[in-house]
């Protein structure tokens, strides 16, 4: 069996005694579970440990596989340079994985390394495993901003290549859960934090890995987690394999969720079609998309029709005559946002109306969001069925005296200067939890320095159409 075991391990730096200096006793259940994982890995006697880590080199559209034969790192960034770790890489396996990804059309490889040093997610895994298996080789893979399906495919390639090369591999999915569990925690509180952790730990406990793939992006982004993509990749390494899953521990006393889990293959690897979790996930995703399209309101249907006509036929549609009066007879600024697999695919809008009606405003902005957002390549025809649309209709902006008059959940903000620089951010966005963060992002979009530039603030409300 190529992948003989898979494990979820958190990576709080304070779990290292030299860093924690006694504070690690506050997560003793996590430490005990990590030690249990290390014992189980030793019993499996693997040739290689594959580590997927959120803190390895990360790119939006590329999976980085650490190159070379050897690496080291330390906890110098946490004030303890003497806590250091070294490892030999399984270079043959890493290079074979990179080659197979190229054959499969997966954006992955050993290029573009920014920092060869081991990251703390990997070092914490080594801290527990190396005392049992000091010569164990490692393949280290960074995460990406790509879809759940692409992370799954990356893990599946590792499974297939390991099998071909005769490797006996354990997968170590490094990752914390929500960072938003406590008001007095380092990252504050969001109600989605405990919700996310409850769902993930339930999924890991019962082995429902499809549910991890299918989780709504609004939940995991607002929860401020860092491990889910690591778990997606691990799921791919268990492709078509029955697993016995066990949640070994969960706790979050410092405001960050730490979960430890073991997923052990049962029976023959890669042969059980009922465990083709990618196919099951894609079926569920497509069903959800069809259901969402059936319930889109008139604003969203119009945005979708405008972009699809432009991409497929190169034409701009005329708004139909039977639209609600709000669309046909009023004027307003609006933003059209596109998402694909939970990730932003384009967003363009107008603060004030520039067209004869809101309907025309939506049509124009939908086309721009899909084809002219400089952060993204133009939407392709093959992507149209996978897009989710939001249409935000703006009220007229009003001048405010200070940030005290803002509410990140209710108001969007415009930051502007007299020389014409201006940045805008919509309200109630996933992952934007404070006015300070909202202002920082808006100012950054307008190339405005809040500490030195003379700027003014405006706020507005939106009606969001889904």
| CATH number of the domain within which 374 lies | 3.30.700.20
Is residue 236 very low, low, confident or very high in pLDDT (cuts 50, 70, 90)?
Answer: very high
Residue 289 lies in a domain: no
Residues 211 and 257 in one domain: yes
Sequence-ordered alpha helix ranges (H) in 265-378: 277-294, 298-313, 325-329, 358-371
Rounded to an integer, the average pLDDT of 126-151 is 97
What pLDDT score was predicted for residue 37?
98
d(CA 265, CA 276) in angstroms, rounded, equals: 14
Residue 290 lies in a domain: no
Residues 375 and 405 in one domain: no
Query: Which has more confidence, 76 or 274?
Result: 76
Is residue 267 very low, low, confident or very high in pLDDT (cuts 50, 70, 90)?
Answer: confident
Is residue 447 very low, low, confident or very high in pLDDT (cuts 50, 70, 90)?
Answer: very high
pLDDT tens digits, one per residue of 151-196: 999 999 999 999 999 999 999 999 999 999 999 988 999 999 999 9
Q: What 3-state class would DSSP assign to 86?
A: strand
In total, how many domains does the chain have?
3
Residues 272 and 310 in one domain: no
Rounded to an integer, the average pLDDT of 280-306 is 96
Q: Is the pLDDT of residue 268 over 90?
A: no
Percent of the chain surpassing pLDDT 90: 94
Residues 6+ apart with CB under 8 A from 149: 213, 278, 281, 282, 341
Residues 206 and 242 in one domain: yes
What pLDDT score was predicted for residue 433?
85
What pLDDT score was predicted for residue 386?
94
Q: Write down which residue in 391, 426, 450 finishes a domain.
A: 391
d(CA 116, CA 68) in angstroms, rounded, equals: 9
* Contact of 236 with 255, CB cutoff 8 Å: no
What pLDDT score was predicted for residue 269?
81
Residues 444 and 369 in one domain: no
H/E stretch holding 129 reads: helix 120-129
Residues 124 and 180 in one domain: yes
Residues 265 and 304 in one domain: no
Residues 199 and 216 in one domain: yes
User: Which has the closest alpha carbon to 98: 158, 170, 172, 159?
Assistant: 158
| CATH number of the domain within which 173 lies | 3.40.830.10
d(CA 204, CA 23) in angstroms, rounded, equals: 27
Rounded to an integer, the average pLDDT of 232-261 is 97
Residues 350 and 402 in one domain: no
Residues 183 and 48 in one domain: yes
Rounded to an integer, the average pLDDT of 128-154 is 97
Residue 28 lies in a domain: yes
Residues 307 and 449 in one domain: no
Q: Write down which residue in 261, 284, 307 finishes a domain.
A: 284
What pLDDT score was predicted for residue 77?
95
What pLDDT score was predicted for residue 431?
81
Q: Is the pLDDT of residue 270 over 80?
A: no
Percent of the chain surpassing pLDDT 70: 100
Residues 216 and 328 in one domain: no
| CATH number of the domain within which 449 lies | 3.30.1490.150
Domain that holds residue 417: 398-465
Rounded to an integer, the average pLDDT of 22-38 is 97
Is residue 136 very low, low, confident or very high in pLDDT (cuts 50, 70, 90)?
Answer: very high
pLDDT tens digits, one per residue of 373-416: 999 999 999 999 999 999 999 999 999 999 999 999 999 999 99
Q: Is the pLDDT of residue 342 over 90?
A: no
Q: Write down which residue in 342, 375, 391 finishes a domain.
A: 391
* Contact of 397 with 413, CB cutoff 8 Å: no
Global confidence as pTM = 0.91
Average pLDDT in the chain: 96
């Amino acid at each position: 069996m190529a992948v003989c075991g898979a494990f979820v391990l958190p990576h709080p730096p304070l779990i290292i005694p030299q860093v924690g200096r006694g504070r690690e006793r506050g997560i003793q259940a996590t430490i005990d579970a990590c030690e249990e994982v290390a014992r189980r890995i030793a019993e499996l006697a693997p040739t290689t440990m594959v580590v997927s880590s959120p803190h390895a080199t990360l790119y939006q559209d590329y999976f980085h596989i650490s190159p070379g034969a050897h690496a080291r790192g330390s906890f110098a960034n946490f004030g303890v340079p003497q806590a250091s770790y070294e490892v030999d890489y399984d270079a043959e396996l890493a290079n074979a994985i990179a080659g197979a990804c190229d054959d499969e059309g997966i954006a992955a490889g050993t290029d573009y390394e920014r920092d060869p040093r081991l990251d703390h997610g990997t070092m914490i895994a080594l801290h527990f495993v190396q005392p049992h298996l000091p010569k164990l080789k490692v393949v280290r893979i960074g995460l990406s901003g790509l879809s759940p399906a692409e992370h799954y495919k990356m893990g599946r390639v590792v499974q297939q290549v390991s099998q071909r090369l005769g490797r006996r591999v354990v997968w170590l999915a490094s990752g914390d859960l929500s960072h938003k569990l406590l008001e007095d925690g380092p990252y504050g509180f969001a109600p989605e934090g405990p919700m996310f952790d409850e769902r993930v730990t339930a999924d890991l406990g019962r082995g429902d890995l499809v549910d991890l793939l299918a989780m709504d992006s609004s939940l995991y982004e607002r929860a401020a987690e860092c491990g889910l993509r690591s778990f997606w990749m691990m799921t791919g390494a268990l492709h078509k394999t029955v697993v016995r899953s066990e949640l070994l521990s969960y706790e979050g006393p410092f405001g960050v969720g730490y979960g430890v889990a073991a997923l052990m293959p049962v029976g023959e690897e890669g042969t059980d079609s009922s465990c083709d979790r990618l196919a099951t996930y894609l079926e569920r995703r497509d069903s959800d998309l069809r259901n969402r399209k059936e319930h889109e309101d008139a604003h969203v249907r119009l945005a979708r029709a405008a972009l699809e006509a432009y991409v497929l036929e190169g034409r701009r549609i005329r708004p139909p005559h039977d639209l609600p009066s709000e669309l046909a007879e009023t004027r307003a600024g609006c933003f059209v946002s596109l998402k694909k697999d939970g990730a932003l695919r384009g967003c363009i809008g107008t603060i004030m109306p520039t067209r004869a009606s809101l309907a025309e405003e939506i049509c124009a902005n939908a086309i721009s969001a899909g084809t002219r957002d400089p952060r993204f390549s133009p939407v392709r025809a093959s992507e149209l069925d996978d897009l989710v649309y939001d249409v935000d209709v703006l009220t007229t902006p009003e001048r405010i005296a200070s940030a005290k008059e803002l509410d990140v959940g209710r108001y969007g903000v415009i930051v502007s200067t007299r020389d014409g620089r201006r940045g805008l951010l919509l309200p109630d966005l996933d992952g934007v939890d404070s006015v300070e963060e909202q202002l920082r992002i808006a100012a950054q979009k307008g190339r405005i320095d809040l500490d030195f530039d003379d700027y003014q603030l405006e706020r507005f409300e939106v009606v969001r159409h889904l």
